[in-house]
Amino acid sequence: MPKWCKHDFEVNAGMDEVTCKKCGDWYDIPALMKWTATDLMRVPKPIRLEVLKRQAELFNKDNPFYYQAEKKPRYLKMLSV
């Protein structure tokens, strides 16, 4: 079983590139933006949370009215024929 690194991250280039001081692994946040949530499970948690936060901000910017409340709840729409 491999020994896991307890990452000590160093931020470079304005949080776009993150490097672990202990093991030398580096992560490029803009490159990880294309990954799915399932693929991001292989990335350390602080990096994963930052990527998911940026993906959510980008989605909200592109679709500003996506989360607006509808006038009628969805289950009532399904019941009315």
Give the mean pLDDT of 32-48.
Answer: 89
Percentage of the chain beyond pLDDT 90 is 16
Q: Provide the pLDDT for residue 34.
A: 92
Whether the per-residue pLDDT at 38 is higher than 60: the answer is yes
* Alpha-carbon distances of 41 from 33, 51, 60, rounded to whole Å: 13, 11, 23
Whether the per-residue pLDDT at 65 is higher than 80: the answer is no
Q: Show Cβ contacts of residue 40 under 8 Å, excluding neighbours closer than 6 positions.
A: 32, 48, 51, 52
